[in-house]
Amino acid sequence: MPGMALMAERAPHRTELRVYWEDTDAAGIVYYASYLRFAERGRTEMLRALGVGQRRMAEEQGIAFAVRRCACEYLRPARLDDALVVETSVARAAGAAIEMRQDISRGGELLARLDVTVACIGAGGRPARLPPALRHALAAFVAEPS
């Protein structure tokens, strides 16, 4: 159907990272805003794995991504030197927006869950439709519900 949103049915993309001093407070516990940076890395690496270069998109097509909405539920603390995994999946992609779910975990234990809407923007920060190459890349990652 035209305009039908894409729904994730595949395993999420996984990005592994380590907690450094710069990510923590004085007690060695991850500062809440650091989870936003971890999620950004996860989204960027998912796009990179799909062959979508954000720098190239900006230079060649004049478009970029901006977080429009982010809701984060903090469940357990991460600490200095923890090995974390950011799992990123696409819940919906339509028009100028991509809705993603991102889970951040340590050793299989869920620490934080983020629901993020990313807007595709063009000149002057105005909404721009997702480019065909990105739609094609996302199509390889997600499938319509059966």
Reported as a single tens digit per residue, the pLDDT across 22-64 is 999 999 999 999 999 999 999 999 999 888 888 988 998 899 9
**Structural domain boundaries of the chain?**
13-141
**Catalytic hit among 23, 25, 103, 115:** 25
Give the CATH architecture of domain 13-141: Roll (3.10)
> In the prediction, which pLDDT does 138 show?
73
Burial of 73 (0-12, 13-18, 19+ CB in 10 A): exposed
Query: If 0-12 CB within 10 Å is exposed, 13-18 middle and 19+ buried, where does residue 46 land?
Result: buried
Instruction: Average the pLDDT over 83-93 and give the result.
Output: 92
Q: What is the pTM of this model?
A: 0.86
pLDDT, residue 6, reads 42
E strand or H helix that includes residue 135: helix 132-141
Active site residue 25: yes
pLDDT at 139: 62
